[in-house]
Structure 1
Amino acid sequence: MPVRRLRTGLALTLAAALWPPLSVGAAEGPRGPYGERLTIDERGITLTFPDEAAKLRIGGRLQLDFGAAGLRQVGLPEPFSNNIAVRRSWIESYLTIGKTLELAFQYDFAEPTRPISDAAIGWKGIPDTILTVGNMKEPFSLDQLISDNNTVFTERSLADAFAPARNFGFAIGRRMGDWTAVVGVFGGNANTGIRSEGVSAAARLTAAPINTDAQVLHLGISGNYRSLPQNEAPLQLSARSEAFLFARPFVNTGDIRDAASIGRIGLEAAYRHGPVLIQAEYIRTEIERFDGARALSFQGGYIEASVVLNGQGRRYALTPDYGTTYAIFSGVRVGDAERVSNGGFGVFELAARFSAIDLDDGPVRGGIEQDVSVGLNWYPDRNVRLMADYIRSHAAPSAIAGGRTIDADTFIGRLQFYW
């Protein structure tokens, strides 16, 4: 990461740390000439017009990663190019007009190639239905759809290599009691060219047969199919061993230049009982190739468990404000009594995960990796989180080791502010 971007991120992080609303609660200014009200609190800066005819909220997130890694095999390159880096440095804005229209824009100053994250318009004029157009997440994978602010670990699992993430398109989502369904059609990413990556059709269906304040049972299935244009940028799949600071991935298919399409199917399940959350996914990916070449098949998955040691469990949210993020789990809440600014000790969360990915099939020897992770999260106050993860990785064969095995021990810490 360039020094200039790192310094900018550090400056923004320090500014956020010193920003009073993160620790002293809401501050409300006088009403404006049209009766509008300006509020500054843990949700950012909010401008609300009378009768909530319109509301503008400006927020952001800052994530600073630091850590170290050691490879047990000799003669391999250094795993980290930097031991500290800004993971995300976002500014985001949300404009609500009446009860039917939501506009969202997110920009990441720490992302050199895809700084625009969400840039979307959602319409809620039909009961229990949201129509969204713009750059947003395709409806695929519970792990991917959960916000970066609220993931249990610093990074998503190895299987996230198969998730399509954000692209430009149109989606329709509907809630039917404890069921949700989302379908959409997408092109490429708004940052790199909407027409440059073929066309994708995506769908996700979820059910919550148990959905109470004390317990939630979540089940889901998602599918995604994308046609790929010939003679464009080759397809490549890789996983960065669940740590942003790694200079290169341990497993990598390399360029698949004859890929004609990529299809994915994902199965997901989660169970929350009070402060305990167990979550698992399996994703299978099929790649069709031009000129009748044999198709390629890859797979991955994870299972993780977390427990909030002295607070409430993660809430289950069936409906978003816009977009495709239906039926997901939100972040850990910090009650007034637990806030360090009120004399408390914060809230602690303990977690463990096993994840695996298989990128070996036919002529493609991308490698097979298994990671075991344990993590501890501390929420000293609202809008602040300190994370510490240990990851034990085993990759065989590894793309960066000339087909040899790689074993790595990694520690990753993160300082996070969000509002």
Structure 2
Amino acid sequence: MDVPFRGESMSEAGIRSPWWSTTVRWLLATGVLSLVPPAVFADGYDFYSNWPTHITASDGTDFGLAVLYQYDLNQFSHDQGRFEDASTNRRRYFGLFLRKPGVYDAIVQYDYQARQWVDTFVRIRTSGAIGIDLGNLRFGYSKTPVGFEGVTSSSATTFIETALPTQAVWEGRRAGVDWAWVRPHFIVNVGDYFWRKDLDGNNPGTTLAARAAWMPINRQGHVLHLGLSASREKLDWADQGALPPLARLRARPEDGLSPVRLVDSGPLPYSRQVDRQGFEALWIDGPWSVQGEYLQARVDRDHGKPDFATHGFYLFTTWTLTGEARYYSDGNVADRRYNGRDLQAIRPTHPWGAVELAVRYSELDLNDGAISGGAEHDWTVGANWYIGEHLKVQANYVRAFSERRGLQVNPHIFEMRAQVYF
């Protein structure tokens, strides 16, 4: 039986088709689509790009669906029986967007797999709205900025899962307001996430955060990005009479379907606040890129409990065999679908898509004083196939090496993902 993912019940997991059957169907479907030449459609219609998912008015206002569907397969070996093979939906985002390029954009999106809200906000670009560039203001529920991989769109990630330190340190989404000052060669972002719970009624607390980046090189296909970020999360009691506020830092071995964590700080009750810092770098030169980040976090605790600190880093390189460059926009790596400013489509050079290879090393240490959360480092190799603007197939192979309280577990993990997004 497959392992259920997040909110899924065991009964729901038990009625799935065998992983190999579903995976074969996905591969056949994407393979057939990739072989259909755009010329077979009347009037030059491009099936890969012109999906009827949105409507554009004469003044440029765009309204449509915001959908992300991912189906994952995880297989484990050399794991001492701690993991179970699984295949199921990883994400099922469904939402609506409304935007006028250069003026505003808004989105409401829900993940029906995890049963929780995702991006839900309104953003105003003051240069287009009032004619004076005072930056971009965003109100609502969005990603906090410490964690370069975490802030990257879930549809645009190079690897199937984020690196060990990103999982442990990145805070996720919070509700509030943030301001961004975006220029060709620098970006400053400040956020006050004052809503004391997220949209699902969980995660009591507030966060102040800031991020700055300098881009001495910033043109299409050639980027040098150097940035730093920091945040302070203050934790609250959930409800009167509830357990004291707690923090917990942990990471899966860069798989997404198993509940097993090889490194885990465990619950840290009486946690007062969590301070996070990140140092990030990205270099893009045509089909080559290198990206890395160092992340650290410190949990301050009350009632005589010891504080806890952790740190980790990752470094990866990519090479696009078909010649395309990773797309960069507004301080982050963006979807290959469109430019974040004017929505101009970025299409692969070849009609059958773009192919990318990648290698990543990541490391995380969750040992601090009397708290033995363990240490882990992973090697991941990956291949990505971008088929037009809306289809993507990924494959990763992970070698994980962990030690916690004298126990070593070093699983081998094979992962595949089929993705549809628009």
TM over 0.5: yes
Could you say if the C-alpha distance between residues 348 and 336 of structure 1 is closer, same or farther in structure 2, counting changes exceeding 3 Å? closer
**Displacement after TM superposition at 1:331 (Å):** 3.8
Paired residues, what number? Answer: 382
1:117 aligns with 2:118: yes
After TM superposition, the structure 1 = structure 2 runs for residues 111-260 of structure 1, keeping only pairs within 5 Å, are 111-112=114-115, 114=116, 116-126=117-127, 127=133, 129-160=135-166, 161-186=168-193, 187-188=195-196, 190-193=198-201, 196-230=203-237, 231-260=243-272
Say which is worse superposed, 285-294 or 309-318, in terms of deviation. 285-294
Note the alpha carbon deviations across 1:188-229, whole angstroms, 9 max, x for none: 5534327x5211100000010112334211000000101112
After TM superposition, the structure 1 = structure 2 runs for residues 14-413 of structure 1, keeping only pairs within 5 Å, are 41-42=49-50, 45-52=53-60, 54-72=61-79, 74=80, 77-80=81-84, 82-96=85-99, 99-112=102-115, 114=116, 116-126=117-127, 127=133, 129-160=135-166, 161-186=168-193, 187-188=195-196, 190-193=198-201, 196-230=203-237, 231-318=243-330, 327-332=331-336, 335=347, 338-340=350-352, 346-397=353-404, 403-413=406-416
Could you say if the C-alpha distance between residues 209 and 258 of structure 1 is closer, same or farther in structure 2, counting changes exceeding 3 Å? same
**Displacement after TM superposition at 1:337 (Å):** 5.6
What residue identity is the alignment partner of 1:90?
Y
**Displacement after TM superposition at 1:316 (Å):** 1.4
Question: SS of the counterpart of 1:338?
Answer: coil
Q: Distance in 2 between matches of 1:315 and 1:358?
A: 32
Q: Distance in 1 between matches of 2:68 and 2:332?
A: 20
TM-score, length of structure 2 as denominator length:
0.82
Are 1:136 and 1:168, in contact at CA under 8 Å, matched by a contact in 2? yes
Are 1:135 and 1:189, in contact at CA under 8 Å, matched by a contact in 2? no
Q: Distance in 2 between matches of 1:55 and 1:335?
A: 20
What residue identity is the alignment partner of 1:117?
V
Could you say if the C-alpha distance between residues 212 and 96 of structure 1 is closer, same or farther in structure 2, counting changes exceeding 3 Å? closer
Question: SS of the counterpart of 1:51?
Answer: coil
Q: Distance in 1 between matches of 2:141 and 2:51?
A: 23
Are 2:244 and 2:270, in contact at CA under 8 Å, matched by a contact in 1? no
Could you say if the C-alpha distance between residues 211 and 369 of structure 1 is closer, same or farther in structure 2, counting changes exceeding 3 Å? same
**Displacement after TM superposition at 1:237 (Å):** 1.1
Q: Distance in 2 between matches of 1:287 and 1:257?
A: 10
Partner of residue 324, structure 1: none
**Displacement after TM superposition at 1:233 (Å):** 4.6
**Displacement after TM superposition at 1:7 (Å):** 6.2
What residue identity is the alignment partner of 1:370?
H
Question: SS of the counterpart of 1:159?
Answer: helix
Could you say if the C-alpha distance between residues 358 and 136 of structure 1 is closer, same or farther in structure 2, counting changes exceeding 3 Å? same
Could you say if the C-alpha distance between residues 150 and 303 of structure 1 is closer, same or farther in structure 2, counting changes exceeding 3 Å? same
TM-score, length of structure 1 as denominator length:
0.83
What residue identity is the alignment partner of 1:393?
A
Could you say if the C-alpha distance between residues 190 and 229 of structure 1 is closer, same or farther in structure 2, counting changes exceeding 3 Å? closer
What residue identity is the alignment partner of 2:135?
T
Could you say if the C-alpha distance between residues 189 and 42 of structure 1 is closer, same or farther in structure 2, counting changes exceeding 3 Å? farther
Question: SS of the counterpart of 1:396?
Answer: strand
What residue identity is the alignment partner of 1:359?
L
Q: Distance in 2 between matches of 1:350 and 1:21?
A: 21
Could you say if the C-alpha distance between residues 245 and 119 of structure 1 is closer, same or farther in structure 2, counting changes exceeding 3 Å? same
Structure 1 spans left out of the alignment, 5+ residues: 29-38, 319-326, 341-345
Are 2:221 and 2:327, in contact at CA under 8 Å, matched by a contact in 1? no
Partner of residue 416, structure 1: 419
Once superposed, what is the RMSD of the aligned Cα atoms? Answer: 3.1
Q: Distance in 1 between matches of 2:204 and 2:197?
A: 8
Q: Distance in 1 between matches of 2:124 and 2:38?
A: 32
Could you say if the C-alpha distance between residues 355 and 188 of structure 1 is closer, same or farther in structure 2, counting changes exceeding 3 Å? farther
Q: Distance in 1 between matches of 2:62 and 2:419?
A: 26
Q: Distance in 1 between matches of 2:221 and 2:119?
A: 32
**Displacement after TM superposition at 1:353 (Å):** 0.4
Partner of residue 34, structure 1: none
Partner of residue 36, structure 1: none
Q: Distance in 2 between matches of 1:408 and 1:336?
A: 35
Q: Distance in 1 between matches of 2:324 and 2:235?
A: 45
Question: SS of the counterpart of 2:105?
Answer: strand
Q: Distance in 2 between matches of 1:84 and 1:389?
A: 14
Q: Distance in 1 between matches of 2:196 and 2:38?
A: 41
